C-alpha cells in the first residue's frame, strides 16, 4: 500500500469532499475483461448504491476496493493519495471494510469477542500479554450503543439473528475507525422489520461521516436509502445518477441496455400441446405453492434474482429438497421426486456449481460422462471400458469439448468445457426433461453459444428444457415462456415475444411495484 | 522424466531402489526363502489395506480394524474349543468382521457421526469385548485341530506360502473391483465429491455401508490367516495393523492413480513397509530406529508426491 499521512489534505484531486476515487480501473481474468475503465467516486458521508445485473461487475469492483483482487489497470485515490491494496488487510488498514452477504462467525465467541476477533486489545502484566476483556467489552458496548441498538455484548454469537451478526460486523468496522463501509447485498436474508432497522443504522453511520457503498438487487430499497446510484452493465459503468433526478424506469433501462428481443422462435416448429411435466401446488421449506406446466419441445425460462428460489425449485423437482405438499405429473404419470427416480424417469439436472455439485474433479472426462448412467455402460456390474470411451469420443466431437484425450482429468479443462462434460453426462442417457441451473455462468462466449444452440436442437427433438437464469438476455433470446420467481413464489409469466418484455420481467423480479 | 511421471511413480521407484540396495548389502536378503517369508509377513497387512482403500476411496476412515483382528481370533478359538466344530467356528467368527463394519457404516452413513469418532468408539468397544471374553489371556487350541486349518497360515504350495496365494487372489480381485466395476467406480466418485455423487443419483449411504462391509470381510480373512499362523488366539494380535494399514493406504495414493488409493499401490506400499522391517532387522538395526525409518519413509514419499503433483498440473 502506498499511502502517506502527510498527503491527506493535499488537495490535488478535483473534489475535496470525495473520499475515494477510482480512475480507469479495469480487471481481466484469463484474457476476458470483467471490468472496463471504471471512473468512480464516493463522497464523504454519502450512501452510494451500486446496481447492475448478475455479471455486471459489481462484485469484482468491490473486491478490488477491498483488496481481494488487484486491478489490471487503473488507479485508486483515497483522500487524494494514490493507493493500491495487495490484500484485504491493507484495505482494512486504510479504512475500507466490507459487510459480507453471508457472515462467518465463531459460534461460541460472544459478541465483544467476535467484534475484536484477530485484533484483541491486550494488556501486559509481569511481561505476559493478556487479552484485556474489560476494555474490549466497554468499547463494544459503546459502539453498539452509538448505533442505537440494544444487544447484550456477552451473548454467544450462535444466538444472534442475521441482522445482529451484521451489526457485529459493522461494530468491528467502527472500532477500527473505518471510513468506507461496503454492504454486499445486505438485505437478502432480512425480514421487513429488520431491513428497516438496518436502514436506521445506515443513517446513523452516515451521520458519523462514514461513506457507504451499498450493493443491491432491490431497486425499491436503493431508491429509499441512497443519495446517488451508479449502474454497471457488462463490466462498464453506465452512469451515476443523483437519486433526486432519476426514476426507477430510467435505472432499470440502463441496467438492461437496449430492449431485448426473442429471435429463436422462428427457428423452431410450434410447440406441441402435449404436456411433459405438470407441477401442481408444489411447496417446500423454501417454495410456496408453485404450479406450472412445461410442454413437449418447450424451453421454459425461470427468471429471478439470487435467492428468489430458482435453485430450490430445481432441487425440489429433482428430489434433493423435500416436498411438503403438492403433486408432480411427469409424462402422464405421478412422479415422486428423488435423484434415482428422476434419472430413471428421464429428468436431467445440471446444477449451478459445476465444480462442487457436478463434477468429480479428479476423475477423467470419460468417467464423469458416464457417472449418472453407468449401468448403461456395464453388464452385471462390470464396466465396459470400450463403450465408455466410445461414448466419450462421441460427445467430445459432438459438443466440441477441448480435451487432450478422453482420459484426461476433468479439472484440467476450462470452465466451458467442464460444463459441456456435465451436459454430455445427461445427453448420454437421453433425458426427456433437462433442468439447467445457470448453465452459462462463468464460461466463455463460444461455449455459451454452443450451449444455446444445443438447447434449441434438443427442443426440436421434442425434449423439454427448464432453463434457470438470472441473466435476462439469454432467457429472452432462448425461451418460449418465462416465469418470474421472487421469494419462493411465481410472480409472473411472460411470453418472450411480448413488447418490452425485459422491463416487465425485471420489474417483476425486483418487486418494483412502481413500474408498469 | 517429467514431474508428473515422478509424482506418480516416485514411491514405486524408491521401493525398487531400496530393494536393490538391500539385495546388495544384506547377505541372504535376495533369496527365495527370504522373499517368500517377506511376502508371507506382508500378506495380512495387504489384505486389510485392500479393504481399507474402498472405505478410504469413498471418503471414510476406520480406526477399529486393529481391534477387530483380535476379536475375530478370540471368537473363533472360543467356539472351536467349546463345540469342536471348525466350520461353525469359522463361519461365526468370520461374520464378526462384516458385522463390525456394518455398525461402522450405519453410524457414519445413516446416523451421520464423523467416521473417525464412530470407528474409534466402535474399536474401543471391540477391544473391551475381546478382553472381557478371556480376561485378556490367549487361547490355545486342543490337539484335535484339523490339519487344514494349520495349513491356511503355515502351509506351502510348492515353494509358495499359502497366505501369499490368498493375498495375490485378493489383490487381483481388488484391482478388478477398483478398476472395472460399477461398485468401485461409485465408491471413488463418492470420495472424490460426495455432493456431485448425490446429484448424479448415487445412493451414497448404501455404498458407504457396503465399503465398510467389504473391509470387515477382509479383516476377517486376515484374522483367520493370522490365527492359523500363530497356532493360537492372541487378544492383542493385529493391534499394530492399524497404523501400518493407514501408512500403506496413504502410500498407495501416491502411485498409479490421480491421488486416489489404488490396489496395486497398496501391494507396493505394503511391500515397502514389510521390506523395511525385514531388511532393517537383518541389519541388526534396533527396533525403535525401525519405527523412525518407517515414519520417515511415509512422510517423505507422500510429501514428494504432493509437492511434485501440485506443480505438474496446468490448465490447457
Could you read off the pLDDT of B188-223 as tens digits, one per residue? 999 999 999 999 999 999 999 999 999 999 999 999
Please give the Cα distance from B46 to A384 (Å, whole number): 28
- Taking alpha carbons only, the member of B189, B153, B161, B171 closest to residue B49 is B171
pLDDT at A305: 81
**Close Cβ partners of B16 (under 8 Å, ≥ 6 residues apart):** none
Residue in A closest to B179 by C-alpha: A383
Residue in A closest to B312 by C-alpha: A412
Task: Tell how many helices (H) and how many strands (E) occur in chain A.
Answer: 16, 24
B212 in helix, strand or coil?
Answer: helix
B168-206 burial by CB neighbour count: b if 16+ within 10 A, else e? eebbeebbebbebbbbbbbbbbbbbbbebbbbbbbbbbe
Task: Give the DSSP H/E element, type plus range, for residue B67.
Answer: helix B65-83
Task: Give the DSSP H/E element, type plus range, for residue A19.
Answer: strand A18-29
Residue of A347, A352, A371 for testing the chain B interface, max B β-carbons within 10 Å: A371
**Given A343, A360, A412, which is nearest B192 (Cβ)?**
A360
- Taking alpha carbons only, the member of A16, A36, A17, A20 closest to residue A28 is A36
Between strands A275-283 and A128-131, the pairing is unpaired
Please give the Cα distance from A57 to A35 (Å, whole number): 6
Please give the Cα distance from B191 to A220 (Å, whole number): 46
Beta carbons of B199 and A358 less than 8 Å apart: yes
Q: Residue A380 pLDDT > 70, yes or no?
A: yes
Q: Where are the domains of chain A?
A: 5-105+160-256, 108-143+150-156, 260-346+433-440+463-516, 353-430
Q: How many CB atoms lie within 10 A of CB A102?
A: 10
Residue of A362, A382, A437 for testing the chain B interface, max B β-carbons within 10 Å: A362
Name the residue with cell 497404523: B243
pLDDT at B76: 95
Stretch among A5-9, A401-405, B31-35, B272-276 having the lowest mean pLDDT: A5-9
- Taking alpha carbons only, the member of B89, B313, B133 closest to residue B223 is B89
**In the beta sheet, which residues pair with residue A229?**
A49, A241
Please give the Cα distance from A131 to A134 (Å, whole number): 9
What separation in angstroms does the CA of A362 have from each of A403, A413, A492, B1?
15, 11, 42, 23
B70 in helix, strand or coil?
Answer: helix
**In the beta sheet, which residues pair with residue A374?**
none
Please give the Cα distance from B115 to B205 (Å, whole number): 13
Q: CB contacts < 8 Å between A and B, how many?
A: 80
The 8-class DSSP code of residue A87 comes to S
Condensed to tens digits (0 to 9), the pLDDT of residues A458-503 reads: 999 999 999 998 888 889 888 999 999 988 999 999 988 888 888 8
pLDDT at A12: 38
Q: How many CB atoms lie within 10 A of CB A329?
A: 15
Beta carbons of B180 and A383 less than 8 Å apart: yes
| Confidence category of residue A191, pLDDT binned at 50, 70, 90 | confident
User: What is chain B's mean pLDDT, rounded?
Assistant: 90
For residue A423, list chain B residues with Cβ-Cβ distance below 8 A. Answer: none
Q: Three cell numbers at B233?
A: 488366539
CB distance A469 to A302 below 8 Å: yes
Condensed to tens digits (0 to 9), the pLDDT of residues B258-287 reads: 778 899 999 999 999 999 988 888 888 888
Class of domain A5-105+160-256: alpha beta
For residue A361, list chain B residues with Cβ-Cβ distance below 8 A. Answer: 192-193
Mean pLDDT of all residues in B50-67: 94
Q: How many CB atoms lie within 10 A of CB A1?
A: 14
User: What is chain A's mean pLDDT, rounded?
Assistant: 86
Task: Give the DSSP H/E element, type plus range, for residue A204.
Answer: helix A192-207
Mean pLDDT of all residues in A494-513: 81
Condensed to tens digits (0 to 9), the pLDDT of residues A199-232 reads: 999 999 999 999 999 998 777 788 889 999 999 9
CA pseudo-torsion sign A311, A163, A169, A40 = positive
pLDDT at B2: 67
| Confidence category of residue A413, pLDDT binned at 50, 70, 90 | confident
**Close Cβ partners of A192 (under 8 Å, ≥ 6 residues apart):** none
B249-272 burial by CB neighbour count: b if 16+ within 10 A, else e? bbbbbbbbbbebbbbbbbbbbbbb
| Confidence category of residue B119, pLDDT binned at 50, 70, 90 | very high
A5-105+160-256 and A260-346+433-440+463-516 share one CATH topology? yes
Scan residues 155-214 of B and list those with Cβ closer than 8 Å to A.
180-183, 185-186, 188-189, 192-193, 195-203
Q: Residue A279 pLDDT > 50, yes or no?
A: yes
Widest pairwise Cα distance in chain A: 85
| Confidence category of residue B315, pLDDT binned at 50, 70, 90 | very low
CA angle centred on B261, ends B257 and B262, rounded to 5°:
65
For residue B4, list chain A residues with Cβ-Cβ distance below 8 A. Answer: none
pLDDT at A269: 56
**In the beta sheet, which residues pair with residue A282?**
A290
Q: Residue A258 pLDDT > 70, yes or no?
A: no
pLDDT at A16: 52
What separation in angstroms does the CA of B98 have from each of B68, B166, B168, B214, B226?
10, 19, 21, 7, 17
**Given A381, A412, A414, which is nearest B182 (Cβ)?**
A381
Q: How many CB atoms lie within 10 A of CB A322?
A: 10
Distance from CA of B258 to the nearest CA of A (A): 6
CB distance A51 to A230 below 8 Å: yes
| Confidence category of residue A260, pLDDT binned at 50, 70, 90 | low
Please give the Cα distance from A80 to A14 (Å, whole number): 9
Beta carbons of A382 and B180 less than 8 Å apart: yes
Q: Residue A426 pLDDT > 80, yes or no?
A: yes
Higher-pLDDT residue of A516 and A494 is A494
Task: Give the DSSP H/E element, type plus range, for residue B238.
Answer: none
Q: How many CB atoms lie within 10 A of CB A510?
A: 25
Q: In what order do the strands lie in the sheet with A290-295?
A: A290-295, A275-283, A325-330, A333-334
Quote the pTM value. 0.77
**Given A371, A383, A402, which is nearest B316 (Cβ)?**
A402
As to burial, measured by CB atoms within 10 angstroms (0-12 exposed, 13-18 middle, 19+ buried), residue B27 is: exposed
CB distance A476 to A258 below 8 Å: no
As to burial, measured by CB atoms within 10 angstroms (0-12 exposed, 13-18 middle, 19+ buried), residue A112 is: buried
- Taking alpha carbons only, the member of A347, A295, A342, A281 closest to residue A495 is A295
Please give the Cα distance from B24 to B17 (Å, whole number): 11
Between strands A47-51 and A73-78, the pairing is unpaired
Beta carbons of A361 and B193 less than 8 Å apart: yes
pLDDT at A281: 93
Condensed to tens digits (0 to 9), the pLDDT of residues A59-116 reads: 889 999 999 999 999 999 999 899 999 998 899 999 999 988 777 778 888 999 989 8
Condensed to tens digits (0 to 9), the pLDDT of residues A115-170 reads: 988 888 888 888 888 888 899 999 999 999 888 888 898 998 888 888 888 899 89
Torsion of CA B307, B308, B313, B314, to 10 degrees: 90
pLDDT at A7: 41
ipTM strictly over 0.95?
Answer: no
In sequence order, which ranges of B181-203 are alpha helices (DSSP H)? Answer: 182-192, 194-199
B76 in helix, strand or coil?
Answer: helix
The 8-class DSSP code of residue A115 comes to H
Residue in A closest to B193 by C-alpha: A360
Domain A260-346+433-440+463-516 superfamily per CATH: P-loop containing nucleotide triphosphate hydrolases (3.40.50.300)
CB distance A83 to A70 below 8 Å: no
Amino acid at each position: 500500500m502506498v499511502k502517506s499521512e502527510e498527503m491527506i489534505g493535499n488537495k490535488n484531486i478535483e473534489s475535496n469532499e470525495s473520499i475515494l476515487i477510482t480512475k480507469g480501473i479495469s480487471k481481466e481474468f484469463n484474457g476476458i475483461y470483467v471490468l472496463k475503465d471504471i471512473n468512480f467516486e464516493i463522497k464523504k458521508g454519502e450512501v452510494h448504491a451500486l446496481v447492475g445485473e448478475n455479471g455486471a461487475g459489481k462484485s469484482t469492483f468491490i473486491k478490488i476496493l477491498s483488496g481481494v483482487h488487484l486491478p489490471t489497470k487503473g488507479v485508486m485515490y483515497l483522500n487524494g493519495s494514490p493507493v493500491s491494496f495487495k490484500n484485504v488487510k491493507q484495505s482494512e488498514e486504510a479504512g475500507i471494510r466490507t459487510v459480507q452477504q453471508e457472515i462467518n462467525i465463531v459460534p461460541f465467541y460472544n459478541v465483544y469477542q467476535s467484534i475484536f476477533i484477530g485484533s484483541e486489545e491486550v494488556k501486559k502484566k509481569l511481561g505476559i500479554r493478556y487479552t484485556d476483556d474489560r476494555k474490549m467489552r466497554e468499547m463494544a458496548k459503546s459502539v453498539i450503543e452509538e448505533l442505537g441498538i440494544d444487544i447484550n455484548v456477552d451473548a454467544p454469537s450462535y444466538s444472534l439473528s442475521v441482522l445482529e451478526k451484521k451489526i457485529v460486523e459493522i461494530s468491528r468496522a467502527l472500532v477500527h475507525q473505518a471510513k468506507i463501509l461496503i454492504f454486499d447485498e445486505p438485505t437478502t436474508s432480512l425480514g421487513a422489520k429488520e431491513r428497516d432497522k438496518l436502514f436506521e443504522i445506515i443513517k446513523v453511520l452516515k451521520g458519523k461521516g462514514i461513506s457507504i457503498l451499498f450493493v443491491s438487487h432491490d431497486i425499491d430499497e436503493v431508491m429509499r436509502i441512497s443519495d446517488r446510484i451508479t449502474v454497471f452493465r457488462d463490466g462498464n459503468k453506465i452512469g451515476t445518477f443523483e437519486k433526486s433526478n432519476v426514476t426507477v424506469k430510467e435505472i432499470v433501462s440502463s441496467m438492461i441496455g437496449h430492449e431485448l428481443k426473442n429471435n429463436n422462435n422462428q427457428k423452431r416448429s410450434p410447440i406441441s400441446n402435449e404436456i411433459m411435466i405438470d407441477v401442481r401446488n408444489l411447496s417446500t421449506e423454501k417454495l410456496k405453492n408453485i404450479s406450472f406446466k412445461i410442454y413437449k419441445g418447450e424451453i421454459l425460462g425461470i427468471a429471478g434474482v439470487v435467492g428468489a428460489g430458482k435453485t430450490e425449485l430445481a432441487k425440489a423437482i429433482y428430489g434433493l429438497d423435500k416436498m411438503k405438499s403438492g403433486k408432480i405429473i411427469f409424462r402422464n404419470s405421478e412422479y415422486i421426486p428423488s435423484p434415482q427416480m428422476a434419472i430413471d424417469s428421464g429428468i436431467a439436472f445440471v446444477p449451478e456449481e459445476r465444480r462442487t455439485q457436478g463434477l468429480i474433479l479428479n476423475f477423467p472426462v470419460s468417467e464423469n460422462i458416464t457417472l449418472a448412467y453407468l449401468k448403461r455402460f456395464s453388464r452385471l456390474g462390470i464396466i465396459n471400458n470400450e463403450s465408455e470411451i466410445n461414448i466419450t469420443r462421441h460427445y467430445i466431437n459432438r459438443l466440441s469439448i477441448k480435451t487432450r484425450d478422453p482420459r484426461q482429468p476433468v479439472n484440467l479443462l476450462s470452465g466451458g468445457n467442464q460444463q459441456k462434460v456435465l451436459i454430455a453426462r445427461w445427453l448420454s442417457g437421453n433425458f426427456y426433461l433437462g433442468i439447467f441451473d445457470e448453465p452459462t455462468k462463468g464460461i466463455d462466449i463460444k461455449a455459451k453459444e454452443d450451449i444455446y444452440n444445443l438447447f434449441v436442437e434438443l427442443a426440436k427433438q421434442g425434449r423439454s428444457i427448464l432453463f434457470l437464469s438470472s441473466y435476462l438476455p439469454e432467457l429472452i433470446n432462448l425461451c418460449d415462456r418465462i416465469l418470474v420467481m421472487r421469494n419462493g413464489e411465481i410472480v409472473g409469466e411472460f411470453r418472450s415475444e411480448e413488447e418490452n418484455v425485459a422491463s416487465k420481467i425485471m420489474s417483476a423480479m425486483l418487486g418494483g411495484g412502481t413500474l408498469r | 522424466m517429467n514431474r508428473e511421471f515422478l509424482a506418480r511413480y516416485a514411491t514405486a521407484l524408491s521401493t525398487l531402489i531400496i530393494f536393490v540396495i538391500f539385495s546388495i548389502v544384506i547377505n541372504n536378503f535376495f533369496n527365495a526363502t527370504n522373499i517368500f517369508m517377506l511376502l508371507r509377513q506382508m500378506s495380512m497387512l495387504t489384505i486389510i489395506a485392500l479393504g481399507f482403500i474402498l472405505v478410504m476411496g469413498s471418503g471414510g476412515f476406520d480406526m477399529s480394524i486393529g481391534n477387530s483382528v483380535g476379536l475375530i481370533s478370540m471368537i473363533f478359538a472360543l467356539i472351536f474349543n467349546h463345540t469342536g466344530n471348525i466350520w461353525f467356528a469359522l463361519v461365526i467368527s468370520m461374520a464378526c468382521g462384516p458385522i463390525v463394519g456394518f455398525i461402522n457404516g450405519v453410524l457414519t452413513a445413516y446416523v451421520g457421526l464423523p467416521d473417525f469418532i464412530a470407528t474409534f468408539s466402535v474399536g474401543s468397544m471391540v477391544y473391551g469385548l475381546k478382553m472381557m471374553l478371556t480376561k485378556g489371556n490367549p487361547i490355545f487350541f486342543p490337539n484335535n485341530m484339523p490339519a487344514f486349518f494349520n495349513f491356511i497360515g503355515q502351509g506351502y504350495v510348492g515353494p509358495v506360502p499359502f497366505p501369499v496365494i490368498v493375498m495375490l487372489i485378493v489383490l487381483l480381485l481388488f484391482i478388478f473391483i477398483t478398476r472395472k466395476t460399477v461398485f468401485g467406480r461409485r465408491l471413488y466418485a463418492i470420495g472424490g465429491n460426495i455432493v456431485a455423487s448425490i446429484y448424479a443419483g448415487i445412493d451414497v449411504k448404501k455404498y458407504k455401508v457396503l465399503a465398510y462391509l467389504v473391509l470387515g470381510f477382509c479383516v476377517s480373512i486376515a484374522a483367520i490367516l493370522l490365527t492359523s499362523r500363530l497356532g493360537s488366539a492372541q487378544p492383542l494380535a493385529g493391534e499394530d495393523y492399524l497404523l501400518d494399514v493407514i501408512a500403506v493406504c496413504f502410500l498407495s495414493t501416491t502411485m498409479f492413480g490421480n491421488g486416489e488409493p489404488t490396489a496395486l499401490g497398496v501391494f507396493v506400499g505394503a511391500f515397502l513397509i514389510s521390506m523395511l522391517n525385514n531388511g532393517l532387522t537383518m541389519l541388526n538395526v534396533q527396533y525403535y530406529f525401525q519405527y523412525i525409518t518407517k515414519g520417515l519413509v511415509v512422510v517423505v514419499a507422500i510429501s514428494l508426491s504432493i509437492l511434485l503433483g501440485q506443480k505438474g498440473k496446468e490448465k490447457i
